[in-house]
Structure 1
Amino acid sequence: MLSILCPRRILFLIPVFFLFVISFQIRAEAATKPNIIYVMADDLGYGDLGCYGQKVIQTPHIDQLAKEGMRFTSHYSGHTVCRPSRLVLLTGQHSGHTPISQNEQYVFPTGTTTVTTLLKEAGYTTGGVGKWALGLPQTSGVPSQQGFDFWFGYLDQGNAHNYYPEYLWKNEQKVVLPGNKIGPQKRVSVNRETYSHDLLTREAFQFIRQNANRPFFLQAHYTIPHANNEGGRAVNDGMEVPEYGIYADKDWPTPEKGFAAMITRLDRDMGTLVALLKELKQEDNTVIFFTSDNGPHQEGNHKVEFFNSNGPLRGYKRDLYEGGIRVPLIVKWPGKIKPDTTTDHISAFWDFLPTACDLAGVESPQNIDGISYLPTLLGQPQPTHESLYWKYRGKEALREGQWKAVRTGPNKPLELYNLETDIGEQQNVADQHPKIATRLQQQMKQSQTTSD
């Protein structure tokens, strides 16, 4: 006997069917399994790139990525500091649901599901270079135990603050770097010959060459422009780079020359990356993501205001105001993403895992907080978040549409900002909108399943 659906039930099923059709279309678009390259700078600010308003530091190659792809204006990092931000990116869960929400030591357990393990299961060759921070040598957390076919870089986050280390790691093998020597006192380099960033880039390019004829995922989590703090103090004025290049003759403090030279060096390498993909005839079959792990730092004698590193935003690294967590995101995919486009879609690091799964044509896990932003990249209808949440050492922040709630400490009053009219978070309107403040405060409580 045929059952008859009431009109109300039909109306409920229409949007469900619509989203199913959209998802099917998106998977069909990505059926060829494009290569995925995810480049993440370390402590690069929202205002440090020309395409985001930077007027002094030169970033022509990254700006060209934006001209040939899509620029996100409301994208957020996983956290306001390094390790938990990387954890969020890899697991697709925000910091209210991850085991840590600050820069404490953490080791991935055996069998952890990450974007890397999922892509490996989907047939991708997986590689990474740069800073890991989620498992020391001889633990279950090392990259080779977490889905990486290849890894080259730092395992210990503390060592990653030295650009001239004595060694790096290739998978689980220690690789001694020629000409670098650490002195006996305070772990400070006394000989500096091999600049780690250049070696990381060389290994990344070699991985691409070796795997150009099969789907690959490359995670390039660079350490530029993080300050170098060897032995707990700034070395060589805190921003170490082999040469200052086009900034050598500027009448600037030495740390600012180093900061600008670091970013332009990374920009140079992004230009070489695109040239390599063209040489290998893989440019059209590769999706490049470029972002930063959190907001700009004020360390190593670099001052955020010198280059206006946070742009129009308030705060910087370790803050949960916009300057600490809103970051650049540029995505290029020739023939798929419309060139020179900008989106204000509100997204975050935990959205990368489902986006990568959509690109690979596989299902995302159910227990994640992320929503794929592949529809935005392809110009299709995009599901949105009800809210985004962060926590750090008693601080909390939550964004819901135009509204941003911030609490700067466990006993501090809730602050409320309307980001549509006040992107710089200068006018706390919690008293004018008590119902909205109360609702967002309740959402903060509901967004947590773990404690600091």
Structure 2
Amino acid sequence: MADDLGYGDLGCYGQTKIKTPHLDQLAVDGIRFTSAYAGAPVCAPARCVLLTGRHTGHGRVRGNLPSDRPRNPLAVALQPDDLTLAQVLKPAGYTSAAIGKWGLGNPGPEASGLPLRQGFDYFFGYVNQTHAHNSYPSFLWRNEEKVPLPNIVPDEGPLGTGVSSNMAVHSQDLFIAEALKFIRAERARPFFLYFALTLPHANDESEPLGLEIPSLGEYADRDWPEAAKRYAAMVTRIDTDVGRILALLDELHLADDTIVVFTSDNGPHHEGGNDPAFFTSAGPFRGLKRDLYEGGIREPMIVRWPGHAPAGRTDDTPWYFADVLPTFADLAGQPTPPSDGVSVRPLWEGRPQAALADRPLYWEFYEGGFHQAARRGPWKIVQPKAGAPFELYDLRTDPGETHNLAAAQPAVLASLEADLRASHADSPAWPVHPPK
């Protein structure tokens, strides 16, 4: 799972400037879903939806804890009664690893949310999502122990990273090494690898060039803005490391027995000097990260399952992160715990799943005030910001959400407003109207 990668950032989703050959081949070998959605338009709640199957109207972690909200451990950490995908897979004999960015619990009062306390057998990476904004950190975590790194010299590196070039250790170099090591170690038994990259997230949202990457590679000589070259290099680095994982599966003769799923946690960003319009990163859609329009939540989603998922297929059936846990439970032969999703195994096997056409997909978002969105069939309701009127779009004819049909379709609007009310459950950690 990439971090802030847009729907349009991959060649197989229409990108023409950035090279992503391994992911493009993954789409050729599997199913490319074109109406798959993240669980939220920012990282922490999206990851919570993915790992618990609870959408943001019911989940524990519903936002990135904006600065105007009092710090409450319940708001930013999974609790002992939360059930994760790793816990669901454990009775089936799976060894589970989380490598990369976690963001669902910290040491101290929030320790219950740490990966090893949520069913994972191994963790390496960033526990805290803010810490993950630095690709050259002075430490990472292995399980629940700090691993010191030599990124401590306050010098200007070759790309303005603020670290010395002769000492710099980029976190992605460590993550891919750990991922490959885990696969090799677990090759003889069932394993689940949750590989949560931090690319192409900006490392300092206010820094004009806050996109940290060791090399610009083939983009170094392009006549592009510096930030664009960095962003492209970050996306291609994702592709390169996906290629390394796929090559290892081939080497170990595991490819035919391994399901590979690729996606992103939310839409593209405009931070660290990045201009998402330069690459049309949101594809044909309106909105970016932090938006409940399609550009903020519709994601690339590729599933390769040799012998089951028809190669080269494109599927426009809407589904989202809440469906991942029920699907994996189904695949592992485990009971599906209560969740807001359903198993989409039939879709992954290339079979129609008519029931998905008439169920609501739901999102709520707290940064800048509470607002909501839902999709049922082709219809999408959006409250773009707190207190704003609801907007209604027909995604069949208007995927870019440019023609608001709220006034012209009052019955459809009323039905989707009912979906919004039914999908939200109050949480003391995430009040709709936070105290002043």
TM-score if structure 1 supplies the norm length? 0.87
The answer to whether structure 1 residue 219 and structure 2 residue 188 are counterparts is: no
Measured against aligned partners, the alpha-carbon deviations of 1:6-51 in whole angstroms (never above 9, x if no partner) come to: xxxxxxxxxxxxxxxxxxxxxxxxxxxxxxxxxx000000000000
The answer to whether structure 1 residue 87 and structure 2 residue 60 are counterparts is: no
Q: Which runs of structure 2 are paired with 1:249-268 in the superposition (5 Å)?
A: 249-268=221-240
Q: Secondary structure at the match of 1:390?
A: strand
The answer to whether structure 1 residue 434 and structure 2 residue 407 are counterparts is: no
Q: Secondary structure at the match of 2:233?
A: helix
Measured against aligned partners, the alpha-carbon deviations of 1:26-78 in whole angstroms (never above 9, x if no partner) come to: xxxxxxxxxxxxxx000000000000000100000000000000000000000
In structure 2, distance between residues paired with 1:123 and 1:195: 33
Partner of 2:2: 41
Task: Using the TM superposition, give the Cα deviation of residue 183 of structure 1 relative to its aligned residue in structure 2, in angstroms.
Answer: 4.6
Partner of 2:20: 59
In structure 2, distance between residues paired with 1:325 and 1:182: 38
Partner of 1:191: 164
Q: Secondary structure at the match of 1:284?
A: helix
Partner of 2:151: 180
Is the deviation greater in 215-224 or in 336-345? 336-345
Identify if the C-alpha distance between structure 1 residues 182 and 315 changes in structure 2 by more than 3 Å, giving closer, same or farther: farther
Partner of 1:134: 104
Partner of 1:5: none
In structure 2, distance between residues paired with 1:350 and 1:424: 24
Task: Using the TM superposition, give the Cα deviation of residue 121 of structure 1 relative to its aligned residue in structure 2, in angstroms.
Answer: 2.2
Q: Which runs of structure 2 are paired with 1:280-359 in the superposition (5 Å)?
A: 280-359=252-331
Is the deviation greater in 430-439 or in 52-61? 430-439
- CA contact 1:180–1:189 (8 Å) conserved in 2: no
Gaps of 5+ in 2: 66-74, 156-160
In structure 2, distance between residues paired with 1:295 and 1:317: 5
In structure 2, distance between residues paired with 1:96 and 1:142: 22
Q: Which runs of structure 2 are paired with 1:58-77 in the superposition (5 Å)?
A: 58-77=19-38
Measured against aligned partners, the alpha-carbon deviations of 1:59-99 in whole angstroms (never above 9, x if no partner) come to: 00000000000000000000000101001111101111113
In structure 2, distance between residues paired with 1:148 and 1:428: 44
Partner of 1:19: none
Is the deviation greater in 153-162 or in 192-201? 192-201
Partner of 2:421: 445
- CA contact 1:396–1:407 (8 Å) conserved in 2: yes
In structure 2, distance between residues paired with 1:409 and 1:449: 19
Partner of 2:351: 380
In structure 1, distance between residues paired with 2:402 and 2:148: 49
Q: Which amino acid aligns with 1:214?
A: R
Partner of 1:119: 89
In structure 1, distance between residues paired with 2:413 and 2:93: 46
In structure 2, distance between residues paired with 1:134 and 1:100: 7
Q: Which amino acid aligns with 1:140?
A: S
Is the deviation greater in 98-107 or in 335-344? 98-107
- CA contact 2:61–2:104 (8 Å) conserved in 1: no
Larger C-alpha radius of gyration, 1 or 2? 1
- CA contact 2:104–2:113 (8 Å) conserved in 1: yes
In structure 1, distance between residues paired with 2:418 and 2:267: 26
- CA contact 2:39–2:297 (8 Å) conserved in 1: yes
The answer to whether structure 1 residue 390 and structure 2 residue 363 are counterparts is: yes
In structure 2, distance between residues paired with 1:332 and 1:409: 37
In structure 2, distance between residues paired with 1:275 and 1:190: 32
Partner of 1:418: 394
Partner of 2:69: none
In structure 2, distance between residues paired with 1:82 and 1:257: 24
Task: Pick the aligned partner of 2:342 from 348, 371, 378.
Answer: 371
Partner of 2:129: 157
Task: Using the TM superposition, give the Cα deviation of residue 111 of structure 1 relative to its aligned residue in structure 2, in angstroms.
Answer: 4.0
Q: Secondary structure at the match of 2:326?
A: helix
Identify if the C-alpha distance between structure 1 residues 113 and 182 changes in structure 2 by more than 3 Å, giving closer, same or farther: farther
Task: Using the TM superposition, give the Cα deviation of residue 182 of structure 1 relative to its aligned residue in structure 2, in angstroms.
Answer: 6.0
Task: Using the TM superposition, give the Cα deviation of residue 345 of structure 1 relative to its aligned residue in structure 2, in angstroms.
Answer: 1.1
Q: Which amino acid aligns with 2:9?
A: D
- CA contact 1:111–1:146 (8 Å) conserved in 2: no
Q: Secondary structure at the match of 2:27?
A: helix
- CA contact 2:53–2:322 (8 Å) conserved in 1: yes
TM-score if structure 2 supplies the norm length? 0.90
Q: Secondary structure at the match of 1:126?
A: strand
Gaps of 5+ in 1: 1-39
The answer to whether structure 1 residue 204 and structure 2 residue 175 are counterparts is: no
* Number of residue pairs aligned between Structure 1 and Structure 2: 405
Q: Which amino acid aligns with 1:73?
A: T
In structure 1, distance between residues paired with 2:316 and 2:78: 33
Q: Secondary structure at the match of 1:304?
A: coil
Task: Using the TM superposition, give the Cα deviation of residue 272 of structure 1 relative to its aligned residue in structure 2, in angstroms.
Answer: 1.1
- CA contact 1:166–1:182 (8 Å) conserved in 2: no
In structure 2, distance between residues paired with 1:176 and 1:76: 36
In structure 2, distance between residues paired with 1:101 and 1:196: 27
- CA contact 1:165–1:189 (8 Å) conserved in 2: no
